Chains A and B, each alone.
Chain A
Amino acid sequence: MDDAIDAAGQGIGSSVLRKEDDRHMRGRGRFIPDFKMDGLSEVAFVRSPLAHALIVSIAKPAGAAGWVFIRDDLAGVKPIRSVMRAPGFRASDHHPLAHGKVRFVGEPIAMCVAPSRALAEDLAESVDVHLEELTAVVDAKAVNGGPYVHDEWGAHTFLETSSDNGIEEIAKAAAVTVKREFHMSRQVVNSMEGKAILAYWDDLKSQLVVYTSTQVPHMIRTGIAEHLGLDQGAVRVVAPDVGGGFGYKCVLQAEELCIAWLAMTFRKPFRWTEDRREHLTSGANCREHFYSVTAYADVRGKLLGIDAEITVDAGAYSVWPFTACLEATMAAGHFPGPYAFKGYRSKSWSVATNKPAILPYRGVARTGICFAMELTIDAVARAVGREPWEVRRENLVPEDAMPYVNPTGKVYDSGDYRRSLDIAVKEIDLPAVRRKQAAMADGGHLIGVGFANYIEMTAHGTKLFAAVGLPFVPGAEPATLRFTPDGGLEIRVGVQSHGQGMETSLAQIAHEVLGIDLGKIAVVHGDTELTPFSTGTYASRSITMAGGAVAEGCRILAERMRPIAAHLLQCGADSVVLRAGTFYGPSGNISVPEVARTWYMRPEQLSGELSVCGLEVLGLYRPKVDTGQYSYGTHAAVVSIDRLTGALRILDYVIVEDCGRRVNPLIVAGQTYGGAAQGIGTALLEEMQFDTNGQPLASTLADYLMPGAAEMPNIRLHHIETLSPNTAYGIKGVGEGGAIPPPAAIFNAVNDAFAGTGVEVNTTPLTPRRLYGAIERWELGRRGAGA
């Protein structure tokens, strides 16, 4: 407040250890599989073994009628129909248990209930499902005529979009035209904890209680109530400890409806815990973007325009509430990234295939567009014969152009993109890398260096969501706050913390305003019964939005306390100053907790009007401009490529990031490292492949490779703090940035190693086999050049 001082080093900018880590490090977290409950039944699903088939019949085993359920049993349950309000959108009905047809391997067909999961799986094996296989739609780039995933469409796309601000005119002036194709493969989210749901009926409150591993408890309450035909007041959703989400857990799942229906119908507790095979093959697919990019530039590589064709393999169904088209529409809308150029044409196709629905995964669309755009920039630089970083730098939106409106109308609030790149170039020591590269040119290893700039739209709000046309639009973000009679502060937020450390960072914001010790501040989240409505945690919004709401609530509390403090200090309210948790008057002081204690326990000391204005408040927050705050940064990678095996090693990795004011720098670093690990996985390891019949080719982590500690380079992290002009304390989000540019930086480094030969890599992940293919072309080119 007035002279907020960070006396104890607990406020904004302090690297305090996370409060939640105490329970996690001691193995005392409470995840859904940890819960014990009398009469709890476990559920296993019978899942489709085929990607596309008609359901001819489903025979339950004899005597299992009350233990096995199919779609027809789920009376009154509506299919999930998630509609994007956009012209030409085709909707899909996603029944919680398959209806008529199965559309991907792993689609739930029946659910089986038993006292243990093993028995439920035994039961599932005895369900006889007769399917008639149809030709599967597997390649989103090769769809042409029937069969269709959704027969009634007579078409393959959920949505097609296009925009053009006059590219053809601009293209005429281009000295250089560069055309490239890129492919970011399908991945799996792989949160450490998969999905888990436990539901029961609370007779005391006549309420369906659903514990679910989710990022968005209030949205799930809305979704469950709407799909089961219940009043929202009759549904309580609780997210206890959640072991990571990354976007997977911000959608309503078919299994959520199934387990909720069981509890509602039988008034008993039921649980389903997703196993890793279910997670890999049916639950958590993401990405799979195809790009065809044409860049128009002048002789120096200055971009005049970009023409981007974007195809996203969206899978079989449209997920609620983010739809099947968030990836493609965001990719089209944000393709220009951090670059300033005028001409832009985009076309996008969200294609339905016989694969699991894709979900918004950390980086949402931007990991793909950053990959395509950054590789294009380097290709332009090579086409004009200049250092990629120089061409990149000249094309970046300059600091003095902020706030900058890009060709699709997105407003970049603040930042010095060029400075970020400059720091990365300096830290990676480009001249030294170039010397090493030259010295090793004829050795067994090739050296390459690559840069990638990115922007990360965070905390986008009402206006932007309304324009996108999703089924929901976030509004002002609430936090309710109250003092306890002993002067402790309880903060209740509708966002959910599942690894972000918000039990700590939101408390730090409250400390910043009120100066109370962090140990006396409790952040309550993850329970619709205890917290105000919020659309939840996604899109790197929580620290900005909930943080702003906490700050606002604390300000209101401070203003309510001020006259009480003044009364107790026997002075005017104007002469009282709040500093580090204490109100100071001209001739004395009183602590915030003491003011709280007086209000609750000794109201006789207060005059009438002071005792009616309580210490429980609602803080509401919305940034001044709510189309999003843009965090940004640069990643730089030096790689070494084994010419004989295609093995790639990351020799050096530098990250420069700017997420505005860092509330807790330790948490920011953790977010950045974790994101980068996932981005490196995207670049080098992770790929969910399917055969031509739509069968997934990985169903365990032995086949689907994730980065481990040994695959992580020693990342050197640097920060810039450019405050957002639009948010409380200048905060911007940081949840996704780390995961956006690693594929771009690493691929640019590889292409740099091949520079001058026309060999480029363009498909993730860069497996040794793929990289060796490029090496063979490179060797061939060298031999050709030598001869």
Chain B
Amino acid sequence: MKPAPFEYWRATSIDEAVQGLAASAGTAKIIAGGQSLGPMLNLRLARPSVLIDIAGVTELKRVQDVGGKLFIGAGTTHAAIEDGVLPASAAGLMQAVARRIAYRAVRNRGTIGGSLAHADPAADWILALTALDAAVSVRGPNGKRSVPVQSLMRAPFTTVLAEDELIVGIETDKLSSTAVWSHQKFSRKVGKFADAAAVVVLDDTSGFCRIVLGTPDAPPVVMRSLAEALLSDSKRRLPLDAIYSAVQTAGTAADSFDIQLQTTVLARAIEKLVLQ
């Protein structure tokens, strides 16, 4: 379990990293914390010609509170978020999500941008940031663009980003003080990727409500009709059969156990939301 040969470049700036990507004509890989890419390199499932290390790029670790928005540098580690590097508002949700990613040793090195770029459908950030309707800031040779997290993952382990594009950060609207959220994660053991997960965000002030279901084999699913129903229900309750049929419609379940599990995880997320 040793990687196939590759060249190693250490980038000191975003520009350098993007130039490196462009120069490699699609054969380079960005490495930040290496918590997913490392094993894939060792298993020779990933075989880049060049590894561009962005762990030392300080401008990627910036966290900014800009008016109604929060900008989180892609190089921010899960541990930093767990430890409270983000200001309040959405931070409550993100801090709670960060705390339950893998193990602390993984969180110490793994980064939020790396997790999104890796595009494991069972991962936590793609789910939580979809629920917050966040967007990733992307830099490429032709400049900047913004991609909603919701449409970032084309398929498991595949994003819509071009080969020469780099995620530099995440931009998310700050929630109002009345916003509530909940996060449910079902996994067979602590630290394992979830078999099913759900995040619900509800902000009465802005009328924002999102319910997102995460599963191991498909990109997170935004449950629009459920969210609308929840928003329009004064008691913030949803009937179980509505959730059940929404899961069936989502097509994320391979068998009756999956349906049951996903339904339960969603139902509990919604239930917990109301209890807060």
Contact = CB atoms under 8 A, between A and B. Distances in A.
B90 to A, nearest CB: 27
Contacts of B5: 118, 122
Nearest to A643: B264
Contacts of A294: none
B186 interface: yes
B202 to A, nearest CB: 23
Interface string B1-26: 11111000000000000000000000
Given A645-B186, A708-B189, A710-B190, A772 B257 contact: yes
B260 A767 contact: no
A702 B260 CA distance: 23
Interface string B132-160: 00000000000000000000000000000
Interface in B191-209: 191-193, 195
A121 B2 contact: yes
B188 A705 contact: yes
A567 interface: no
B250 interface: no
A581 B123 CA distance: 62
Given A644-B260, A700-B43, A772-B257, A117 B188 contact: no
Given A702-B193, A707-B189, A708-B190, A768 B2 contact: no
B189 A710 contact: yes
Given A122-B4, A708-B190, A700 B264 contact: no
Interface in B212-267: 256-257, 260-261, 264-265
B196 to A, nearest CB: 9
Contacts of B257: 646, 768-769, 772-773
List the 3 shortest-distance A-B pairs measured between CB atoms, nearest first. A118-B2, A710-B190, A275-B1
Interface in A739-787: 767-769, 772-773, 776
A685 interface: yes
A708 B39 CA distance: 20
20 contacts: A116-B2, A118-B2, A118-B3, A121-B4, A122-B5, A125-B4, A277-B1, A277-B43, A644-B260, A645-B260, A646-B257, A685-B188, A700-B43, A702-B193, A705-B189, A705-B192, A708-B190, A708-B191, A711-B189, A772-B261
Interface of B: 1-5, 39, 43-44, 186, 188-193, 195, 256-257, 260-261, 264-265
Given A700-B39, A772-B261, 5 more contacts: A122-B4, A700-B43, A705-B188, A708-B191, A768-B195
B189 A645 contact: no
A699 B1 CA distance: 11
A769 B255 CA distance: 10
A645 B190 contact: no
Nearest to B196: A645
A776 B260 CA distance: 11
Nearest to A771: B257
A645 B186 CA distance: 9
A768 B261 contact: yes
Contact of A644 (B1, B3, B264): B264
A645 B5 CA distance: 44
A276 interface: yes
A645 B261 contact: yes
B47 to A, nearest CB: 10
Contact of B188 (A125, A699, A768): A768
Contacts of A121: 1-2, 4, 44
Nearest to B192: A705
Contacts of A700: 39, 43
A117 B190 contact: no
B73 to A, nearest CB: 27
A647 interface: yes
A647 B189 contact: no
Interface string A704-727: 010110110000000000000000
Contacts of B44: 121, 125
Contacts of B43: 277, 699-700
A365 B256 CA distance: 35
